[in-house]
């Protein structure tokens, strides 16, 4: 045997024979060599496509407004996304974004957050309430260089959002029954929100400590700030959202047998004002009325404080807010001063009935049942209309007869009018009141807001 042969034998490995690397076809991968020139060309084409999408989206928005077809908050984003499907992920780069979701209070709280963020710099928002992906794109492309954004998000679409990017702050207000024929039961919404939070482990979550459904959503997240403002509507939160056990009295520190419990609040708010995590107190005197808006403002402050915006400056900006997309707005209709109030489900009707209980002005109730409202109006029987006994009430809208029947059982006398203008005429006959309260559900309110200066 030659020395060459011996060297060859000694050079053989002692372990198992090496495994051949799988070919691209065997591993399921597909490889393609891209030249530097090709990569640059693709980048240029992508930028051109993005610019074209932004221009087309803005043009669609402008056309919608010019033709008085709407605010353009949906069509502009829809056109832009059709031309550049990943536009949202491009628009959120280098932005600090607060997303706001929940059943009630989303639009008002989003306005408050947007105002508070302006204490730190320019802020954009889907203030019109277009709260799905196309609405988010439309809002962000309005001012792409703004460092902050406040985005209202439909409860069932938060998971779609966090699948695309991770917000800086996720604000969770409340969960209650709403549009059962579209949204479904609360348990399905709660599960969707939990999935959304699992997709955003690095976000800061600001959550309602008094709502067991929200506690269940946020309890497992690593970064939660808890806000307590009391639990007004309890009917949808009496049972544990995780195991179904009865929770008992929600005004106290509740704990379920499965381990879910009410967390200690970092921020607290009552009729006197708020208490911050550092123990300092602040009076909450706001142009927007009611305890519900003091709670909304505290959520907004908790969210913006998480982004290091000074609380005092943020609150000064929130105090400049007089209405939120027409909510609580005083306006003129048919020669009368009216205040517009939105109530779209039993929980929000409870809050609005609280507001009108502070006066004895004539009251108009407007209820529709279009797709955006939910076609089922059985929720009317969950509202404590008995509180209106003795009030001057007129009902109108597409479901005025259903509402009149409910008021008849509540022993509330009312008149039925064919439209709001006739209702205003009827409700003010013989009345010395200088203004009228109008409570309307979603599409009825939207129509009133759009036509408020045309009467």
Residues with a catalytic annotation lie at 376
| 3-state DSSP assignment of residue 443 | helix
Please indicate if the annotation marks 240 as binding a ligand: yes
175, with CB counted inside 10 A (0-12, 13-18, 19+), is buried
Burial of 452 (0-12, 13-18, 19+ CB in 10 A): middle
Q: Report d(CA 136, CA 151) in Å as an integer.
A: 7
Q: Does 256 appear as a known binding residue?
A: yes
Q: Which of 181, 177, 207 is nearest to 189 (CA)?
A: 177
- Spacing of C-alpha 137 from chain mean position: 15
Distance CA 153, CA 158 (A): 6
- For the purposes of burial, counting CB atoms within 10 Å of the CB of 348, is it exposed (0-12), middle (13-18) or buried (19 or more)? buried
| Cα-trace Rg, the chain | 27
Is 231 annotated to bind a ligand? Reply is no
Cβ(248)–Cβ(254) below 8 Å: yes
Q: At what angle do helices 133-142 and 75-83 cross, to 10 degrees?
A: 90
Task: Note whether 318 and 426 are within 8 A (CB).
Answer: no
Query: Which residues are known binding-site members for Zn(2+)?
Result: 240, 243, 256, 258
Query: Which residues are known binding-site members?
Result: 240, 243, 256, 258
């Amino acid at each position: 045997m030659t020395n060459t042969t011996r060297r060859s034998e000694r050079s053989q490995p002692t372990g198992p024979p090496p495994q051949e690397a799988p070919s691209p076809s065997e591993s399921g991968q597909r490889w393609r060599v891209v030249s530097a020139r090709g990569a640059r060309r693709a980048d240029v084409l992508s930028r051109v496509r993005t610019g074209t999408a932004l221009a087309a989206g803005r043009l669609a928005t402008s056309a919608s407004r010019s033709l008085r077809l709407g605010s353009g908050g949906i069509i502009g984003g829809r056109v832009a996304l059709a031309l550049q499907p990943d536009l949202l992920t491009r628009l959120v780069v280098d932005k600090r974004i607060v997303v706001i979701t929940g059943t009630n209070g989303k639009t008002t709280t989003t306005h408050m957050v947007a105002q508070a963020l302006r204490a730190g710099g320019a802020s954009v928002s889907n203030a019109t309430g277009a709260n799905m992906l196309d609405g988010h794109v439309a809002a962000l492309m309005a001012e792409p260089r703004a460092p902050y954004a406040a985005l209202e998000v439909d409860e069932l679409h938060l998971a779609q959002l966090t699948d695309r990017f991770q917000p800086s702050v996720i604000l969770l207000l409340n969960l209650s029954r709403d549009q059962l024929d579209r949204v479904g039961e609360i348990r399905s919404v709660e599960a969707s929100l939990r999935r959304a939070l699992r997709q955003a482990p690095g976000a800061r979550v600001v959550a309602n400590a008094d709502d067991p459904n929200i506690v269940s959503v946020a309890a497992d997240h690593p970064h939660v700030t808890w806000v307590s403002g009391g639990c007004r509507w309890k009917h949808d939160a009496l049972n544990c959202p995780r195991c179904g056990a009865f929770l008992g009295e929600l005004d106290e520190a509740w704990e379920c047998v499965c381990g879910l419990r009410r967390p200690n609040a970092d921020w607290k708010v009552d009729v006197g004002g708020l208490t911050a995590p550092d123990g300092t107190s602040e009076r909450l005197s706001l142009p927007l009325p009611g305890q519900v808006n003091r709670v909304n403002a505290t959520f907004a402050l908790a969210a913006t404080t998480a982004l290091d915006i000074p609380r005092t400056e943020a609150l000064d900006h929130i105090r400049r807010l007089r209405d939120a997309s027409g909510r609580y707005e005083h306006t003129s209709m048919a020669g009368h001063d009216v205040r517009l109030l939105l109530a779209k489900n039993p929980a929000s009707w409870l809050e609005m009935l609280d507001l009108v209980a502070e006066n004895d002005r004539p009251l108009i109730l407007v209820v529709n049942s279009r797709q955006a409202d939910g076609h089922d109006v059985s929720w009317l029987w969950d509202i404590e209309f008995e509180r209106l006994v003795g009030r001057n009430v007129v009902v109108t809208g597409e479901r005025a007869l259903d509402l009149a029947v409910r008021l008849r059982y509540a022993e509330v006398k009312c008149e039925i009018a064919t439209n709001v203008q006739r209702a205003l005429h009827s409700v003010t006959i013989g009345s010395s009141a200088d203004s009228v309260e109008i409570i309307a559900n979603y599409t009825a309110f939207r129509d009133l807001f759009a036509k408020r200066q045309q009467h």
